[in-house]
Amino acid sequence: MSPDEEYFEDLWLPNSELEDAYQVLGVDSNISDEDLKKIYRQLAKKYHPDKLPNETNKLKMVKINSAYSLIKKARNIK
């Protein structure tokens, strides 16, 4: 890859962040808004730190919330 290609690839970082967000939630990018919300709620119930209080679940919940927020922002979901 040439230096110019590397520079332009770095400009697309937000897309890779969005792709990572979908991976965190374990869904495909063409999922419906309704199904996305269902999956988010299932994951939130499963990993909520009040349900299973440990550091791993706290960190997992932070990632889940961040991923969902990023996807909602990208899709203009309120």
pLDDT digits (tens, 9 = 90+) for 69-78: 999 999 999 8
Per-residue DSSP letters for 1-48? --HHHHHHHHHTHHHHHHHHHHHHHT--TT--HHHHHHHHHHHHHHH-
52, containing H or E segment: none
CA distance 69 to 53: 23
CA distance 36 to 72: 9
pLDDT digits (tens, 9 = 90+) for 1-43: 444 444 444 444 456 889 999 999 999 999 999 999 999 999 9
Residue of 40 and 56 predicted with greater confidence: 40
